[in-house]
């Protein structure tokens, strides 16, 4: 689905114009999601994030992966609702065993979610295991926190020293499950065989790991590595192969 041409809201976190994206909703129909490419924030009216189909979630992946924010802005301490201007309330929630946060309107107009938190809600990212961290340290010293964007020195820290978020990466198994769910939702398409799904999983993992391999170039150029950003780029290439 394509982006709407008109902007609807100003981003509550950075004041940039938000864009609208029409995506599928469950069980039928569509929903209009507002997003900010500058700070990768999403605005959902009335729990719309819980009504997204697998296709809608992957469409948001495509859209956010193509956004190229110039700078990573910290989330302000006071965020106004883009609908009614009342101050949004930081809210802690739990989806299965995954903790995530969002900013909700006190009047029920909706919720603002940084994209990393949206990925947590959908179980698309996971903390890196100790052995994964050790492998990462072999080629990268500094990464960028997926929660607040602050630099994390892998030589001394295993969590973000500013917001205490764990070091996380996109989970290729979760990517494969979303792709499988999307394929199962398509009508008039033959169900994939076990070998097809196995090949699909291998491809998903290979694409994510290929993106992680690009970390050396970023690190050598002096940039703090963005693990979630790599994963998004990998998924984008997986969804839109050349």
Last residue of a domain, one of 121, 153, 176: 121
Are 60 and 124 spatial neighbours (Cβ–Cβ below 8 Å)?
no
94 lies in which domain range?
Answer: 19-121
Looking at the structure, do residues 115 and 136 belong to the same domain, yes or no?
A: no
Last residue of a domain, one of 65, 87, 121: 121
Q: What is the pLDDT of residue 216?
A: 47
- Residue 5 falls inside a structural domain: no
Q: What is the pLDDT of residue 88?
A: 96
Q: What is the pLDDT of residue 219?
A: 46
- Residue 9 falls inside a structural domain: no
pLDDT per residue, tens digit, the chain (242 aa), is 444 344 479 999 988 899 999 999 988 889 999 999 888 899 999 888 888 888 888 888 888 877 766 666 677 889 999 999 999 999 999 877 778 899 999 999 999 998 888 888 888 887 888 888 888 888 778 888 876 778 888 888 888 888 788 888 877 777 777 667 666 654 433 344 444 444 544 454 455 455 545 544 544 445 566 777 766 766 666 666 55
Tally of structural domains, the chain: 2
Looking at the structure, do residues 150 and 94 belong to the same domain, yes or no?
A: no
Looking at the structure, do residues 29 and 54 belong to the same domain, yes or no?
A: yes
- Residue 11 falls inside a structural domain: no
| Tokens encoding 235 | 């998924």
- Residue 4 falls inside a structural domain: no
Looking at the structure, do residues 150 and 228 belong to the same domain, yes or no?
A: yes
Looking at the structure, do residues 102 and 142 belong to the same domain, yes or no?
A: no
- Residue 140 falls inside a structural domain: yes
Looking at the structure, do residues 131 and 227 belong to the same domain, yes or no?
A: yes
Looking at the structure, do residues 151 and 60 belong to the same domain, yes or no?
A: no
Last residue of a domain, one of 121, 139, 165: 121
| Tokens encoding 1 | 């689905």
Strand-pairing partners, residue 43, are 34, 112
CB within 8 Å of 45: residues ≥ 6 apart: 83, 109, 110
What pTM did the predictor assign? 0.72
- Residue 160 falls inside a structural domain: yes
- Residue 3 falls inside a structural domain: no
Ordered DSSP codes for the chain: -PBPSS---B-TTT-PBPEEEEEEBSSSSEEEEEEETTTTEEEESTTGGGGB-HHHHHHHHHHHHH---SS-PPPPSS-B-TTT-PBPEEEEEEETTEEEEEEE-TTSS-EEEEHHHHHHHTT-EEEPPHHHHHHHHTT-SEEE-TTT--EEETTT-SB-TTT-PBPEEE-HHHHHHHHHHHHHH-TT-PPPPHHHHHHHHHHHHHHHHHHHHTHHHHHHTTPPB-HHHHHHHHHHHHHS--
């Amino acid at each position: 689905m394509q982006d709407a041409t008109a902007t609807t809201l100003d981003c509550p976190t950075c004041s940039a114009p938000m864009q609208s994206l029409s995506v599928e909703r469950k069980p039928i129909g569509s929903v209009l999601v507002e997003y900010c490419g500058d700070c990768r924030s999403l605005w959902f009216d009335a729990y719309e994030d819980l009504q997204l189909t697998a296709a809608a979630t992957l469409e948001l992946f495509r859209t956010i992966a193509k956004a190229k924010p110039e700078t990573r802005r910290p989330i302000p301490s006071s965020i106004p609702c883009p609908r009614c201007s009342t101050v949004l309330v930081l809210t802690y929630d739990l989806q299965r065993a995954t903790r995530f946060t969002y900013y909700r309107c006190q009047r029920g107009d909706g919720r603002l979610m940084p994209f990393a938190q949206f990925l947590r809600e959908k179980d698309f990212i996971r903390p890196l295991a100790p052995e994964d961290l050790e492998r990462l340290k072999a080629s990268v010293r500094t990464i960028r926190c997926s929660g607040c964007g602050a630099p994390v020195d892998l030589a001394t820290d295993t969590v973000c020293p500013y917001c205490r978020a764990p070091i996380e990466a996109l989970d290729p198994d979760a990517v494969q499950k979303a792709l499988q769910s999307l394929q199962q939702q398509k009508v008039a398409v033959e169900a994939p065989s076990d070998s097809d799904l196995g090949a699909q999983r291998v491809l998903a993992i290979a694409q994510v790991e290929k993106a992680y391999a690009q970390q050396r170039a970023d690190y050598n150029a002096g940039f703090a590595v963005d693990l979630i950003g790599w994963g998004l780029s990998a998924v984008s290439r997986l969804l839109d192969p050349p």
